[in-house]
């Protein structure tokens, strides 16, 4: 029983092969089985990468050939789960008995198959996709290429003694989605980011202290040199790009809000840490946001977890 108390986690702080679905999935497979972790987490939208072009080359310009062509290339390299795009990742998970949180750009058929969503996929250690959380609200310029998601993925998952839940990037600043996960018993919160410590250095510790849970933040790495030469409008993107677009910042905070692993910068690869569930029980002694320190008779949250679609067909 004591073994269930401890969990070995890996934070995969890596760069995508930008806008190349096949090559990035191969990179995910290579990283997923190293050093016998029981849970590995990858950053937001890692497959096939974050839409940095929007901020670099006037992604808000209306009806331009450049923006349309880059977007079409992005769509072609996105993930359609219904077509089995993650089947090999699931098989790898099952073979090595490792649970995976993976950030993808999803092109779902249940929304017509043309729009994109920043989705966080949970694959359990039996190789089964158990939840797909579509980012509720894309942030600022992300709305030019990603659609808003729904509440279907606000779910938690058991792994040994831990209960896992996850959110994408600035969703982690949204108090009500956090509360929806806390209410289901979450005690290991997964926060995925496109990269950079300015995102992770404050919110990671804040969520841990608020929830009295472990919080794992995982960011990607992206340098100017990581743009493939076959990217549409490669020269225009390269000319506008800084040398470093995402510097990492992956980290872990403990249930007391203090660092277990401080943000790691500019280092590509897997970062490993062992977590002790007993620390959750210790910190819940004086504060539990959905248990003894809550007042559901006064304030209560209603969550709609139905998968949203444009049409309901009755045959």
Q: What is the pLDDT of residue 34?
A: 73
Dump pLDDT digits (tens) for 171-191.
999 999 999 999 999 999 999
In percent, the amount of the chain with pLDDT more than 70 equals: 99
- The DSSP result for 194-216, as a single string, is SS-HHHHHHHHHHHHHHHTSEEE
Element spanning 236, H or E: helix 234-240
Dump pLDDT digits (tens) for 128-168.
999 999 999 999 999 999 999 999 999 999 999 999 999 99
The alpha carbon of residue 243 and the mean position of all alpha carbons in its chain are separated, in whole angstroms, by 24
Residue 47 DSSP symbol: B
Pairing type for strands 221-223 and 214-218 reads unpaired
The mean of the pLDDT values for the chain is 96
Q: What is the pLDDT of residue 17?
A: 95
Tokens describing residue 282: 């210790």
What are the two backbone dihedrals, phi and then psi, of residue 168, each rounded to the nearest 5 degrees? -95, 120
Q: What is the pLDDT of residue 1?
A: 42
CATH number of the domain at 2-283, please? 3.60.110.10
Distance CA 274, CA 23 (A): 30
Q: Is the pLDDT of residue 67 over 90?
A: yes
Whether the pTM exceeds 0.85: the reply is yes
Residue appearing with tokens 């490792």: 98
Q: Is the pLDDT of residue 268 over 90?
A: yes
Q: Is the pLDDT of residue 301 over 60?
A: yes
Q: What is the pLDDT of residue 234?
A: 95
Q: Which residues contact 30 (CB under 8 A, 6 or more apart)?
A: none
Q: Is the pLDDT of residue 50 over 70?
A: yes
Domain spans of the chain, in order of start: 2-283
Q: Is the pLDDT of residue 2 over 60?
A: no
Give the CA count within 13 Å in the CB-facing half-sphere of 154: 24
Element spanning 188, H or E: strand 188-192
Across the strands, what pairs with 166? 190
Q: What is the pLDDT of residue 33?
A: 82
Q: Is the pLDDT of residue 233 over 70?
A: yes
In percent, the amount of the chain with pLDDT more than 90 equals: 96
Distance CA 17, CA 49 (A): 7
Q: Is the pLDDT of residue 236 over 70?
A: yes
Q: What is the pLDDT of residue 36?
A: 83
Q: What is the pLDDT of residue 269?
A: 96
């Amino acid at each position: 029983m004591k073994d269930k108390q401890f969990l070995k986690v890996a934070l995969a702080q890596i760069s995508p092969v930008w806008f190349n679905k096949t090559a990035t999935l191969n990179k995910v497979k290579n990283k997923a089985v190293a050093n016998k972790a029981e849970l590995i987490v990858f950053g937001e939208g890692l497959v096939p990468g974050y839409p940095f072009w929007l901020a670099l080359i006037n992604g808000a310009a209306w009806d331009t050939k450049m923006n349309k062509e880059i977007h079409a290339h992005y769509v072609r390299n996105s993930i359609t789960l219904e077509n089995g795009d993650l089947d090999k990742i699931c098989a790898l998970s099952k073979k090595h008995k490792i649970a995976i949180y993976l950030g993808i750009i999803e092109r779902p058929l249940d929304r017509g198959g043309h729009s994109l969503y920043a989705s966080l996929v949970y694959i359990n250690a039996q190789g089964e996709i158990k939840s797909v959380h579509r980012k509720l609200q894309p942030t600022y310029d992300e709305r030019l290429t990603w659609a808003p998601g729904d509440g279907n993925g606000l779910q938690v998952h058991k792994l040994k003694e831990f209960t896992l839940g996850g959110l994408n990037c600035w969703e982690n600043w949204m108090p009500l989605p956090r509360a929806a996960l806390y209410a289901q018993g979450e005690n290991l919160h997964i926060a995925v980011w496109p990269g950079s410590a300015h995102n992770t250095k404050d919110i990671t510790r804040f969520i841990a202290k608020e929830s009295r849970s472990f919080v794992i933040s995982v960011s990607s790495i992206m340098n100017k040199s990581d743009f493939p030469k076959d990217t549409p409008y490669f020269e225009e993107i390269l000319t506008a790009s800084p040398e470093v677009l995402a510097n990492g910042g992956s980290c872990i905070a403990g249930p007391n809000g203090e660092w277990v692993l401080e943000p790691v910068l500019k280092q590509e690869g897997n970062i490993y840490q062992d977590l002790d569930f007993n620390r959750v029980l210790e910190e819940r002694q004086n504060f539990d946001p959905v248990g003894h320190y809550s007042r559901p008779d006064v304030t209560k949250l209603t969550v709609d977890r139905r998968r949203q679609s444009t049409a309901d067909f009755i045959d």
